A = this chain, B = another copy of it.
Amino acid sequence: MPKSRSYKLVAEPADLPSEADQAHRFEKARSAQATALLEDYAELISDLIGTEGEARPTDIARRLGVSHATAIKSIARLKREGLATSKLYRGVFLTPAGEMLARRVRARHRLVVDLLVAVGVPQEAAEVDAEGIEHHVSEETLRAFAKYLGRA
């Protein structure tokens, strides 16, 4: 029985998922979006520490294309979430949890770029699109990507 509008007798159209399924999908997308920023910061901080030896708020801000104030506020959120640490006027560091997240994110990012390239997307477009796409790729999809790329 339909959840509402019981006077409507037509069946659920085949080309639309059930209300519950559809709502569930959107909720997933929203929750993925909520963690996207944390993931981007974690990966970037890890990269900067790896290549520059340190991750400084202004560098982070420049790389993300935001003001330093925005970066500092986001770093504060990372600290609240237990992913990063920093002392006043010192650089930013990742906690073990932050490092783990960074590693996962970096691996996922590479897989996404590689898959895009493998199906014929030009390198630069793949890099750009992957930056947004990666946050919405589930573990299951990731496994499929790895398998497709022969890294199962």
Contacts and interface: CB of A to CB of B under 8 A. Distances in A.
A48 B26 CA distance: 16
A143 to B, nearest CB: 9
A contact patch SS: helix
A100 interface: no
A21 to B, nearest CB: 8
4 A-B pairs with least C-beta separation: A132-B136, A23-B65, A29-B132, A13-B51
B147 A120 contact: yes
Contact of A129 (B15, B33, B125, B137): B137
Interface in A38-84: 40, 47-48, 51-52, 58, 62-66
Identical chains in the assembly: 2
Interface in A116-152: 116, 119-122, 125-129, 131-133, 135-138, 140-141, 144-145, 147-148
B25 A127 contact: yes
B119 A115 contact: yes
A23 B62 contact: yes
Contacts of A132: 28-29, 32-33, 135-136
Interface of A: 3-4, 8, 10, 13, 15-17, 19, 22-29, 32-33, 40, 47-48, 51-52, 58, 62-66, 115-116, 119-122, 125-129, 131-133, 135-138, 140-141, 144-145, 147-148
B133 A65 contact: no
